[in-house]
Amino acid sequence: MALPLHVDPVAVETHCPYCALQCAQTLTSLDAPGPDGLPLLSVEGREFPTNRGGLCRKGWTSAEVLTAPDRITAPLLRDPAGELVPTTWDTALDRVAAGFRRAQERRGRDGVAVFGGGGLTNEKAYALGKFTRVVLGSRLIDYNGRFCMSAAATALNRSLGLDRGLPFPLQDLAGADCVLLLGSNLAATMPPFVQHLEQVRSRGGLVVMDPRETATAALTAEGAGVHLAPVPGTDLVVLLALVHVVLAEDLLDHAYVAERTTGLEDLRAGVAAWWPERAEGVCGISAQRIREIARLLADASPSRGGRGAYVLTGRGVEQSSQGTATVTAAIDLALLLGLVGTHGSGCGPLTGQGNGQGGREHGLKADQLPGYRRISDPADRAHVAAVWGIDPAALPGPGVPALELLGMLGTPDGPAALLVAGSNVVVSAPHVTAVRERLAALDLLVVLDTVPSGTAQLADVVLPILQWAEEEGTMTNLEGRVIRRRRAREAPGEARDELWILQQLAARLGHPDGFPAEASAMFDELARASAGGRADYAGLSHERLDREGPMHWPCPDADHPGTPRVMLDGFPTPDGRARLIPVVPHGPADDLRPDAPLYLVTGRLLEQYQSGAQTRRVPSLLAARPTSFVEVHPLLADRLGIEDGDELQLRTLRGEARAPAHVTGTIRPDTVFMPFHYSGSGSANLLTSDATDPLSGMPDFKVTAVDVIAVDATAGSDARDAV
């Protein structure tokens, strides 16, 4: 039931709907109706460890997304004429259930696949994984976090035995003498994060590695640190050279390495060939600079009397066919210096999506069960099956990574139906032309969404769902801090909670029990399923989080205070030691060639988020960044005869895209940049490679060989298409 239009202001404490900082907000209902007839909400920043009361432009304007003029408020069904038209919930859900049954009659249990999203609450991620494996009996589930955190998660698990993103609170960064930031433009993607770097900048210890002079790289100016701009695709070579210097100059923490790691001699042999002078010839960073950075990190480490050092990775180095190897090398560097599992130092990846951490912990990944349990482990299967009330033998085995799953859709032996919840794959996946072809080959595409995203527009059935301010639940931020998301308003029209939708579908498919629609009840089950796992939430509940505030996992019982810093007493490996693992660079899967002589790198903008389905519906954010564009260095522009604003055509082996030129000196002359938030002819993912990391399934988003030409302005096309 909708709230009355004339109400006393009601303030609700919740968190931002965007990135994994999960900045704290207060939403207040105003005595004024919005276009949907419900009270408008005002947004204020709230004191919280990650944002300290601040918000970025996206956060301040987040309430505007709730009243998007094209908000979907009723179920939609594609009619015989090919149009999506409103229908009833019973009709839509009956259509979905019947379509799933037909698909499985034709193709077996894996005839239906599920694709989730890193913005879903923990409860919804858990329920979606359970629905896939129990109700559908399908092994085919994965999520868009595969495109975000999979390389880092794989590296952390094999080196340290645990993936908890940042294994320490952000506040710890303030005490460091040095922070090495690899492939992340924090000032644009997570602006409130920057305040945690102020003290290290004052000490001259911020080192940023990025082929562009981003807003984050600019933080190193005037003695605050160092910006490294390597040749795209050579981040791993830089790290191997840093490890080489640490070993060659005996800068390592000998006591730590001896007591807490294994594999030193194999690592020493593995990096022997990457002395700085050789690395310089590959990555373009001078040998002298490489040695300076290695010494800076070593001098900051506690073993040499420093205040501490941190090595942080982002998508710029992880979204690569050698992403797992690159993060592994970063971990090797941190382990040699004694930074991991110690007070005042650390190493970890910066989770991007709002609940990218919780999504992979509780069942959205193809090979994982809740609590970060392995679906192939008999004991893990038995524990979760007991909570779910089924025979462990009934649980399907591991599925396949996201890009492989998408490539199977509609093939003779692949799924005939797909359920998409919380993802816009026709913008966010690489080689989106191929993804569109596979979606078109399905018998049934079902999309749960709030707005007509590009993927929703292709669906046979669209089910309208809630936005963050309309739901209850929990999220897990980039530090492993479990927080409460609270309802601040009713949903418009007939939009429904995903938990209710899954409950209704489960009942139609023969499972009337086991899918509560209340988030608190689903969380209690999640806690039981995670008990004893690496991501143990057993001691948490909505009631406790409401009473005591956000808490870090693992939290194994109701008396446990939570664990802000993990691995202080050892690593969750069989022998309690971390693994030093040698890795070998192979360069980009799609490297330069005569018909593609430039590097294309992609990334984010301050005013936009992910596929733009939310932010491009906020007028001020859209006005700031209305279309895609291509950053081009002045030297390259001169060579190609390009002027600022000219329409450019970019070509790769996957296809072509068009967008206007933005001539700037903040990028390498051999490189062009496109943001990936846009669809239509300006979509960067029309161009990106579908090669993947063999260990993690991470696509090679970040480095693509491309040809760039100027086209006649009259032949150009408008890159502003539906999101």
Question: What's the residue count for the chain?
Answer: 723
Q: What percentage of the chain reaches a pLDDT higher than 70?
A: 97
Token output for 688: 């990106």
CATH class (in words) of the domain with range 11-67: mainly beta
Chain segment 680-698, per-residue pLDDT in tens: 999 999 999 999 999 999 9
The answer to whether the pTM exceeds 0.85 is yes
The 3-state DSSP class for residue 104 equals helix
Q: What is the pLDDT of residue 355?
A: 94
Place of tokens 């259509």: 95
Q: How remote is the C-alpha of 347 from its chain's centroid? A: 18
With a CB cutoff of 8 Å and minimum separation 6, the contacts of 623 are none
With a CB cutoff of 8 Å and minimum separation 6, the contacts of 489 are 3, 27, 29, 38, 39, 41, 66, 469, 470
Chain segment 188-213, per-residue pLDDT in tens: 999 999 999 999 999 999 999 999 99
Q: What is the pLDDT of residue 34?
A: 87
Contact status, residue 136 vs residue 165, Cβ threshold 8 Å: no
What confidence category does residue 10 fall into, taking pLDDT thresholds of 50, 70 and 90? confident
Q: How remote is the C-alpha of 253 from its chain's centroid? A: 33
Chain segment 54-66, per-residue pLDDT in tens: 999 999 999 999 9
| Distance in angstroms (rounded) separating the CA atoms of residues 134 and 385 | 9
The CA-based angle 52-53-56, given to 5 degrees, is: 100
Examine the pLDDT at 511 and tell me if it is beyond 50.
Answer: yes
Chain segment 702-719, per-residue pLDDT in tens: 999 999 999 974 354 443
Examine the pLDDT at 4 and tell me if it is beyond 80.
Answer: no
Q: What would the CATH number be for the domain defined by 150-349? A: 3.40.228.10
Q: What would the CATH number be for the domain defined by 598-715? A: 2.40.40.20
The 3-state DSSP class for residue 150 equals helix
Contact status, residue 648 vs residue 659, Cβ threshold 8 Å: yes
Nearest to 162 by CA among 539, 711, 533: 533
With a CB cutoff of 8 Å and minimum separation 6, the contacts of 184 are 210, 216, 312, 313, 314, 315, 316, 350
Q: What is the pLDDT of residue 7?
A: 43
DSSP state of 580: P
The 3-state DSSP class for residue 436 equals helix
Q: What is the pLDDT of residue 9?
A: 65
Strands 309-313 and 346-349: parallel
Enumerate the H helices of 272-423 as residue ranges. Answer: 276-283, 287-300, 315-318, 323-336, 356-361, 378-388, 402-408
Calculate mean pLDDT across residues 17-25: 97
Chain segment 604-620, per-residue pLDDT in tens: 999 999 999 999 999 99
Sequence spans of domains, the chain? 11-67, 150-349, 598-715
